[in-house]
Amino acid sequence: MIKAVVGGFHIKVQALNDELIEKITESFQAYGFEGTSLSTISKATGLIKASLYWRFPAGKEEMAEAALRSVDQQFSHHILKPIDEAGPVATRLAKVARRLREFYGDGKRACLLDTLTLGGSPPAIQKHARLTLEFWVSQFEKLGRESGLDNATARLAAEDAVAALEGGLVLARVSGDRDAFRRAVESLGERLTKAAKRI
C-alpha cells in the first residue's frame, strides 16, 4: 500500500514537471530565447518568478536547456525511435512521419531549434541545438544507408530531409501555410530511399 502511494505520488510529480517543461517550451517556441522573459514564462506556467528560480536557479538559460532536453527525449524515445526498430524501412518511415506530424501539430507548432537559436541565445544553447540537429541528421542518415544508399549519399539525403522539415516549419510559422511542412513529411521516404537518382 505504501509503495502504491509513493509510486502514485512520484507519477503525479513527474506529470506536473512534464507539464511545466511543456509550458516553458511553448514560450520559447513562440518568442525565442531573447524574446521570452521570465514574466512570459511566469504567465504561461502560473508560477511566480521566485518559484521559477527555485526550480531553475540558473534562470532562463537553465529553462531553455530543460526545454531542449525534453525535446531530445521525445525525439530519441518516441518520434525517431522506429528508425532503430526492426521491420521494413517503409513501415518505420511511415511511423516517423506520423509522429512528426503529431509532434508539430501538422505544422502549427514552431521548431524549438529554430526559435531558440535566433539572435541573443547563449553559446551553450547554440551548442546544444547543434548536437540535437546532428542527432536528427544521423538517425535519418542511418535509415538511408539501411535502404541501400552509400554513405555520402545517405548523409546528403538526411541533411536534405531535415532541411525540408525545418524549412517547412519556418514557412508555416511565417506565412501560416502548412503545406510545405506536410510535403516535407510526405517526401521523407522518397528522399531517404531514392536520393541517389536525384544527385
Q: Positive or negative CA dihedral for 164, 81, 99, 189?
A: positive
What pLDDT does 18 receive? 86
Give me the mean pLDDT over the 83-99 stretch. Answer: 94
Range of the domain at 146: 59-197
Assess whether pLDDT exceeds 60 at residue 189.
yes
CATH label of the domain that carries residue 158 = 1.10.357.10
Tell me whether residue 10 is in a domain. Answer: no
Tell me whether residue 156 is in a domain. Answer: yes
* Number of domains into which the chain is organized: 1
With cell 506556467, the residue in question is: 45
Contact (Cβ atoms closer than 8 angstroms) between residue 66 and residue 116: no
Tell me whether residue 7 is in a domain. Answer: no
Query: How far is it, in rounded angstroms, from Cα 162 to Cα 141?
Result: 10
Tell me whether residue 23 is in a domain. Answer: no
The string of pLDDT tens digits covering residues 131-175 is 999 999 999 999 999 999 999 999 999 999 999 999 999 999 899
